[in-house]
Amino acid sequence: MSGQWNRFAAMLMRDLLLIAFTGWLWRLAIEHGAPEAAGGYALHVATALMTVIAAYLVHEWGHLIGAWISGSRFFLPAHIAASPFLFRFDNVRNTRRHFVWMVWGGFVSSIALVILLVALLPRGLLAAQIALGMTALGVIATFVIEVPEFWRVYRGAPLPDGAAFVSPPEV
């Protein structure tokens, strides 16, 4: 993380602001209740979409926290809009143990968030129905994309490479 603290702080601030904005949208959607006109429907759809974006961010922060706790080496993007991923996992210097911690961080944060959403979102509200449906799709995507890769590495395959799992830049 050496030399990356400013980018880390900027990304944390960005994501906290997005989550706060999502909370504000929920407040508006709950106050307005069931949508009755186009503006109400737009508010509910925007609230649901922001909830899914916030859920994705929580999932990514879970990965980052898992990587950090395990002492993994990772790289933050050059600027906060450079990548859809929060960080790039060093697949050369990290070990299988680092990878497992990193992956579990995302899984645990996602499970906790799904439980929170199911427990707290108001039943019957359009925004909640859309948000829970899209969250379910996100969970399915995680199972399809991340679980098989995790299982392969856990069982002895080499660490993956690709968009989020990259070799470090040459120094």
- Residue 112's pLDDT is 97
Q: Give 90's strand partners.
A: 166
- Residue 77's pLDDT is 84
Per the listing, tokens 């949208």 go with: 25
Model confidence pLDDT, tens digit, residues 39-83 = 999 999 999 999 999 999 999 999 999 999 999 999 888 877 777
Determine the Cα–Cα distance for residues 153 and 134; give it in Å rounded to an integer.
28
Average pLDDT over the chain reads 91
Q: Per this entry, what is the length of the chain? A: 171
For the chain, percent of residues with pLDDT exceeding 70: 96
| Tally of CB atoms within 10 A around 167 | 11
Task: Please tell me the least confidently modeled range out of 36-40, 110-114, 124-128, 129-133.
Answer: 36-40
- Residue 165's pLDDT is 78
Listed in sequence order, the DSSP H helices in the chain are 5-32, 38-70, 96-120, 126-154
For residues 112-124, average pLDDT: 95
For the chain, percent of residues with pLDDT exceeding 90: 76
For residues 111-136, average pLDDT: 96
